[in-house]
Amino acid sequence: MPHTAHEKKRVLTRLRRIRGQTEALERALEGGADCGAVLQQIAAIRGAVNGLMSEVMEAHIREEFGQPAGTDAQRQARIEEMTGLVRSYLK
């Protein structure tokens, strides 16, 4: 989770952009837009969500690994958490 004011502002800006894109997609579907335009809008939303995920994940990695590792068990738990996050992101 972004913790600095600057990071939070960037994430919220991305989220608001995604909301606008999904609202535009909804209007396009309701208006019977061409399939090509709809697919293009879906691809744009997917790219925006991926960008948001990447930004939040980067903030999390900086937060988690910018601190001393602690015990071996704590270090292993942090590595497993990161591995799980990366795996879910890449699905």
* pTM, two decimal places: 0.73
Predicted confidence band of residue 7 (pLDDT cuts 50, 70, 90): confident
The CA-based dihedral angle spanning residues 80, 81, 85, 90, taken in that order and rounded to the nearest 10 degrees: 0
CA distance 71 to 59: 23
| Burial of 90 (C-beta count, 10 Å sphere; 0-12/13-18/19+) | exposed
pLDDT digits (tens, 9 = 90+) for 65-90: 777 767 778 777 877 888 887 778 77
% of the chain exceeding 90 in pLDDT? 42
Q: What is the DSSP letter of 32?
A: T
pLDDT digits (tens, 9 = 90+) for 15-73: 999 999 999 999 999 999 999 999 999 999 999 998 898 888 878 777 777 777 677 78
Q: What is the largest CA-CA distance in the chain?
A: 58
CA distance 65 to 59: 10
**Residue type at 59?**
A
